[in-house]
């Protein structure tokens, strides 16, 4: 007698049956679901903002700009391009396949599991859902139980807007997630910590399920004395203060000289007072730490350096003030663990080369930030580091073994380029923070300990799409004459001849020109084939050369 399926198994089975029906392969169906998702955001903004305020004390401006607007803009981006994205791709040919049709078709994976995170519980759960829908998949969504009010809101709204057979929400904690991971999925997309990411990957490996992991890491920020310090500090502290630093691509630590550190701290003190007043805890524009456990973790980090700004803790309110630490031991916890809070340590380096060495000795970051006006500095960092992405002269809008993000602030463009090349990271922003994550055409993702795979815009569609290669051959006589060299008996002449014919050739773009070239090559190949063909080829050719029309027939009449 078969065992009774659990609720989660039944949900997965329903989604698989819906996928097997073929309804999600219809592009018009996908568009309809994406438009319904858009309506869900537009008609329930107040409900989402209320849930985010309850879970994270998130201000409405952050909820709208960094959660809902990103989701709506992503859907607009997809809808404007989905017809083009879903078309089969043509690829170049060689002489042997000149008359054939090499095509790449786009197939959905099938039933995909998407697991969201608690820090941006709407955006990080639902942004990949749009990509999965666009690619034609059915989705099981597991929002984070830590932001429980938001998870309940998503679970309540999804069935009201999306197809109930194709799209499902499963809520719960560790037991529910563990059970869910026992099911076989066709793709898994996880956002969260590296520790849990390894568990997800291990579960996926049992079924050889392809996986995207959007993890965390320590995103470094390099700043030199060439920048406009007022602008740079505002951009950096904004990136550290939104969601009180609970952002995977928030700058995690600053690398700069002692002289820059002094100017930075003085300006940061003035900026924080301007933004949040004498008592930041009473400001309506700052979030709270998500849980008591994370408050205790962050409070321990305050012991790892000298507090020069902030350092206030209120456990009852889950509050930690925006804080800057100096004189930090590079081996301390605040410098070896992802902070995920409003604490910004500063480490002194004498040169960008020291910064590169410091970054490359650690895990690869998700993002690299570079603040400089010197192009040579940004080039140096970008070319000598590895990260998931980067942003120059800002933070976060580009959207660690190796860091998740890397930030450089400098006006020396030559030095920027060197830094960008020499450090490993997931992404980079130069002269700002986090803005790379808001550019739809920039894939967002990590490397090494900060994750694998990428999404946002076209990258989301590609992530949930299997590119299926196909060569459609015909019975053209020229191609067959050229290809005869593959048949036994083998010889050195056949090997050399076929090697030349299979080599990719640069053909003009005009469609008729390759045919003329092929005609000439076909005639030439006949003569070349004399020495390697079996008896009877000359007689066969003589019977057909009287009428050249046979060259363009796909089969004999």
User: Looking at residue 366, what is its pLDDT?
Assistant: 80
User: Looking at residue 403, what is its pLDDT?
Assistant: 53
Whether 221 contacts 407, CB under 8 Å = yes
User: Looking at residue 524, what is its pLDDT?
Assistant: 60
User: Looking at residue 446, what is its pLDDT?
Assistant: 84
User: Looking at residue 536, what is its pLDDT?
Assistant: 46
Task: Looking at 25-111, list the stretches that DSSP marks H as alpha helix, in order from N- to C-terminal side.
Answer: 27-43, 45-56, 60-63, 69-79, 82-85
| Active site (annotated) includes residue 428 | no
Phi and psi angles of residue 517, each rounded to the nearest 5 degrees, phi first: -65, -45
User: Looking at residue 426, what is its pLDDT?
Assistant: 62
Token pair of 339 as six digits: 């902070």
Q: Which residues contact 299 (CB under 8 A, 6 or more apart)?
A: 313, 315, 320
Angle (deg, nearest 10), helices 148-161 and 45-56: 160
Neighbours of 276 (CB within 10 A): 18
Q: Which of 62, 67, 214, 401 is catalytic?
A: 214
User: Looking at residue 554, what is its pLDDT?
Assistant: 42
Alpha-carbon gap, residue 28 to 15, rounded angstroms: 19
Q: Which residues contact 279 (CB under 8 A, 6 or more apart)?
A: none
Q: Which residues pair with 372 in a beta bridge?
A: 410
> Mean pLDDT of successive 10-residue segments in the chain (557 residues)?
78 97 97 99 98 97 96 97 95 79 95 98 98 98 97 98 98 93 97 94 96 92 94 96 95 97 98 97 96 97 98 97 97 96 97 92 86 85 75 60 54 60 62 75 84 90 95 84 88 89 64 59 57 49 48 40
Token pair of 542 as six digits: 């003589």
What is this structure's pTM? Answer: 0.85
Q: Which of 166, 248, 256, 391 is catalytic?
A: 248
Whether 350 contacts 410, CB under 8 Å = no
* Site of tokens 């890491």: 217
User: Looking at residue 160, what is its pLDDT?
Assistant: 98
Q: Which residues contact 292 (CB under 8 A, 6 or more apart)?
A: 315, 318
User: Looking at residue 134, what is its pLDDT?
Assistant: 98
User: Looking at residue 388, what is its pLDDT?
Assistant: 64
Distances (CA, A) of 412 to 376, 408, 424: 6, 10, 20
């Amino acid at each position: 007698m078969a065992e009774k399926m659990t609720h989660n198994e039944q949900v997965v089975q329903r989604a698989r049956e819906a996928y097997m029906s073929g309804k999600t392969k219809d592009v018009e169906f996908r568009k309809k679901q994406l438009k319904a998702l858009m309506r869900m955001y537009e008609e329930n903004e107040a409900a989402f903002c209320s849930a985010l305020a309850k879970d994270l004390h998130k201000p409405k401006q952050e909820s709208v700009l960094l959660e809902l607007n990103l989701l709506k803009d992503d859907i607009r981006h997809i809808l404007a391009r989905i017809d083009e994205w879903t078309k089969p791709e043509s690829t170049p040919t060689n002489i042997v396949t000149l008359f054939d049709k090499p095509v790449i078709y786009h197939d959905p994976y099938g039933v995909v599991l998407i697991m969201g995170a608690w820090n941006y519980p709407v955006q990080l759960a639902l942004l990949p859902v749009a990509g999965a829908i666009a690619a034609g998949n059915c989705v099981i969504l597991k929002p984070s139980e830590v932001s429980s009010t938001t998870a309940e809101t998503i679970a309540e709204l999804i069935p009201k807007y999306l197809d109930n057979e194709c799209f499902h929400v499963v809520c719960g904690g560790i037991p529910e997630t563990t059970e869910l991971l026992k099911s076989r999925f066709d793709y898994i997309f996880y956002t969260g910590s590296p520790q849990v990411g390894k568990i997800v990957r291990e579960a996926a490996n049992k079924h050889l399920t392809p996986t995207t992991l959007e993890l965390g890491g320590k995103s470094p920020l390099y700043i030199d004395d060439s920048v406009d310090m007022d602008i740079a500090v505002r951009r950096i502290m904004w990136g550290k203060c939104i969601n009180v630093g609970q952002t995977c691509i928030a700058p995690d630590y600053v690398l700069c000289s002692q002289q820059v550190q002094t100017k930075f701290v003085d300006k940061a003190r003035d900026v924080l007072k301007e933004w949040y007043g004498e008592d930041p805890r009473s400001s309506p524009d700052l979030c709270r730490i998500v849980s008591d456990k994370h408050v205790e973790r962050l409070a321990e980090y305050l012991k790892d350096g000298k507090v020069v700004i902030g350092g206030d803790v209120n456990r009852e309110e889950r509050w930690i003030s925006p804080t800057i630490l100096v004189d930090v031991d590079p081996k301390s916890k605040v410098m070896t663990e992802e902070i995920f809070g409003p604490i910004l340590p500063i480490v002194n380096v004498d040169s960008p080369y020291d910064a590169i060495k410091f970054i490359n000795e650690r895990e690869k970051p998700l993002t690299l930030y570079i603040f400089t006006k010197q192009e040579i500095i940004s080039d140096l960092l970008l070319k000598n580091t590895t990260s998931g992405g980067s942003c120059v002269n800002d933070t976060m809008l580009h959207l660690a073994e190796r860091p998740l993000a890397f930030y450089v602030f400098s006006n020396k463009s030559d030095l920027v380029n060197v830094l960008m090349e020499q450090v490993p990271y997931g992404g980079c922003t130069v002269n700002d923070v986090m803005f790379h994550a808001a550019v739809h055409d920039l894939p967002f993702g990590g490397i090494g300990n900060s994750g694998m795979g990428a999404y946002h815009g076209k990258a989301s569609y590609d992530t949930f799409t299997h590119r299926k290669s196909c060569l459609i051959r015909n019975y053209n006589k020229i191609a067959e004459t050229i290809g005869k060299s593959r048949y036994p008996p083998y010889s050195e002449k056949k090997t050399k001849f076929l090697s030349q014919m299979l080599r990719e050739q640069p053909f003009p773009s005009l469609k008729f020109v390759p045919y003329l070239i092929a005609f000439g090559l076909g005639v030439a190949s006949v003569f070349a084939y004399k020495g390697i063909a079996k008896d009877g080829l000359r007689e066969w050719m003589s019977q057909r050369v009287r009428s050249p029309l046979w060259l363009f027939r796909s089969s004999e009449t």
